[in-house]
């Protein structure tokens, strides 16, 4: 699948009043006031949708919610940014109309979701968010490889002037200072994706596996993207993984990631993330369950590709018991993936859905019943 990126970023539209914006304590960007009306939007179904989950997509979800309210008078979304684990469990428990997660459903989750829905559940990736490796070392610009990052996050490398870091940062004045790892204390798809990256890119240095719980065994925990990025900003000598928008909004230093194709390291930005997304593959080609094969990201063969990209999913029923809920979910998601709405996401630290992939999203959304 050859995914092409969307074009130029459109201007943000400020709203002075919206019936409802997404609800969260994690919102750090301008998404709470940004929206784009979608001309000709089909506004159907019940007036209020409820959803919860991934904090990594919260700023994007706020833009989506505002755009939905602006495009469809009288229709709103309540989104609670309480983490991917809660998003999945609340959806499968029938508490919400759809869930947000940084990782696709696992086997047990599929079974619970199908029992809740009375039909298959689908993963719809509406938001792509790069994961930054953020750190706090005054005046130091770092580049680090997968093996070195793995050894930092599993406690094998404990000081900033360790020979492995020095070798990858020749000529940089590294402090003789202890490294403090900050990790997500809550269940998080961001943690899952970052550990999958370490597992794939570390050449065997990471043996702790993946999953939504951090397994490195070192460091201090903080809740949510807001918690870990806030801890980095306040505490010298720290390092963490966090969704790009939070690192951008707090002006944190970010590691250039060394890949086999880029020994000098790849800076995290929209262009380098777009190169990676263009190489994306689907695990279930030919179905509407649009799970991204992220293994195609982690050890890129193309130069200029940032390797740690997080697809964020909206988890939906393929067929809802209530047709009014199905219609509202279709209406909301069609607005969320619309080109004019997606084009606003870059300022919030996300990568707009590639044009070719949007067609697959629209096909899947149209078949929600």
55 known ligand binder: yes
The pLDDT value recorded for residue 59 is 87
Q: Verify that 82 and 205 share a domain, yes or no.
A: no
150 assigned to some structural domain: yes
Q: Verify that 255 and 137 share a domain, yes or no.
A: yes
SS3 91: helix
Q: Verify that 321 and 334 share a domain, yes or no.
A: yes
User: 358 and 76 in contact (C-beta within 8 Å)?
Assistant: no
5 assigned to some structural domain: no
Buried b / exposed e along 130-161 (16+ C-beta atoms within 10 A)? bbbbbbbbeeeebbbbbbbbbbbbbebbeebe
1 assigned to some structural domain: no
Q: Verify that 153 and 287 share a domain, yes or no.
A: no
Q: Verify that 154 and 262 share a domain, yes or no.
A: yes
78 assigned to some structural domain: yes
Q: What share of the chain is helix, strand, coil (3-state, %, to 5)?
A: 35, 20, 45
Reference 131, options 41, 217, 201, 52; nearest CA is 201
Q: Verify that 177 and 269 share a domain, yes or no.
A: yes
Q: Give Cα separations from 350 to 159, 246, 273, 309, 310 (angstroms).
A: 32, 11, 9, 10, 10
Q: Verify that 121 and 18 share a domain, yes or no.
A: yes
User: 295 and 210 in contact (C-beta within 8 Å)?
Assistant: no
Structural domain boundaries, residue 140: 131-275
Indicate which CATH number applies to the domain containing 91: 3.40.190.10
The pLDDT value recorded for residue 24 is 36
pLDDT per residue as tens, the chain (369 positions): 433 333 222 222 222 223 333 333 343 444 445 788 999 999 999 999 999 998 888 889 999 999 999 999 999 999 999 988 899 999 999 999 999 998 899 999 999 999 999 999 999 999 998 999 999 999 999 999 999 999 999 999 999 999 999 999 999 999 999 999 999 999 888 898 899 999 999 999 999 999 989 999 999 999 988 899 999 999 999 999 998 988 988 999 999 999 999 999 999 998 898 888 877 788 988 999 999 988 878 998 889 999 999 889 999 999 999 999 999 999 999 999 999 999 999 888 898 887 878 889 999 999 999
DSSP track, 268-290: -SHHHHHHHHTT-EESSTTSS--
Q: Verify that 174 and 212 share a domain, yes or no.
A: yes
245 known ligand binder: no
Q: Give Cα separations from 111 to 93, 117, 312 (angstroms).
A: 12, 10, 20
SS3 35: strand
Q: In this structure, what token pair is assigned to residue 113?
A: 């979701």
Tell me whether residue 24 is exposed, middle or buried, using C-beta atoms within 10 angstroms of its C-beta: 0 to 12, 13 to 18, 19 or more: buried
Q: Verify that 145 and 270 share a domain, yes or no.
A: yes
2 assigned to some structural domain: no
Q: Verify that 284 and 270 share a domain, yes or no.
A: no
Q: Verify that 99 and 150 share a domain, yes or no.
A: no
User: 224 and 261 in contact (C-beta within 8 Å)?
Assistant: no
188 known ligand binder: yes
Reference 273, options 249, 290, 254; nearest CA is 254
How many domains are contained in the chain?
A: 2
189 known ligand binder: yes
40 assigned to some structural domain: yes
230 assigned to some structural domain: yes
Q: Verify that 97 and 185 share a domain, yes or no.
A: no
User: 225 and 216 in contact (C-beta within 8 Å)?
Assistant: no
Reference 134, options 222, 28, 254; nearest CA is 254
């Amino acid at each position: 699948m050859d995914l092409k990126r969307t074009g130029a970023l459109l201007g943000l539209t400020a709203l002075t009043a919206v019936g409802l914006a997404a609800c969260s304590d994690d919102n750090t960007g301008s998404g709470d006031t940004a929206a784009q009306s979608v001309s000709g939007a089909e506004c159907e179904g019940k007036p209020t949708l409820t959803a919860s989950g991934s904090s990594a997509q919260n700023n994007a979800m706020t833009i989506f919610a505002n755009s939905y309210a602006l495009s469809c008078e009288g229709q709103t979304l309540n989104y609670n940014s309480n983490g991917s684990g809660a998003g999945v469990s609340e959806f499968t428990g029938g508490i919400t109309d759809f869930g947000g997660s940084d990782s696709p459903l696992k086997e047990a989750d599929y079974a619970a979701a199908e029992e809740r829905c009375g039909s298959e559940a689908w993963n719809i990736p509406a938001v792509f968010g790069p994961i930054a490796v953020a750190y706090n070392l005054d005046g130091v610009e770092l580049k680090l490889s997968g093996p070195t990052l793995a050894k930092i996050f599993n406690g094998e490398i404990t000081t900033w002037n360790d020979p492995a870091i020095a070798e990858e940062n020749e000529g940089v004045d590294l402090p003789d200072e202890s490294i403090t790892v900050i990790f997500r204390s809550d269940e998080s798809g961001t943690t899952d994706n970052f550990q999958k990256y370490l597992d794939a890119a570390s050449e065997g240095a990471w043996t702790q596996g993946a999953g939504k719980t951090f397994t490195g065994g070192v460091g201090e925990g903080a809740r949510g993207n807001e918690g870990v990025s806030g801890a980095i900003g306040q505490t010298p000598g720290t390092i963490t993984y966090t969704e790009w928008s939070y690192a951008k909004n707090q002006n944190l230093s970010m590691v250039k990631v060394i890949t086999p194709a880029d020994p000098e390291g790849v800076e995290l930005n929209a262009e380098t993330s777009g190169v990676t997304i263009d190489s994306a593959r689907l695990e279930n080609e030919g179905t509407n369950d649009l799970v991204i094969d992220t293994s195609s990201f982690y050890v890129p063969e193309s130069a200029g590709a940032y390797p740690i990209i997080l697809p964020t999913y909206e988890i939906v029923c393929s067929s809802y018991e209530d047709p009014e809920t199905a219609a509202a979910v279709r209406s909301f998601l069609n607005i969320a993936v619309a080109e004019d709405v997606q084009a606003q996401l870059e300022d919030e630290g996300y990568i707009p859905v590639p044009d070719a992939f949007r067609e697959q999203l629209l096909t899947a959304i149209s078949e929600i019943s």
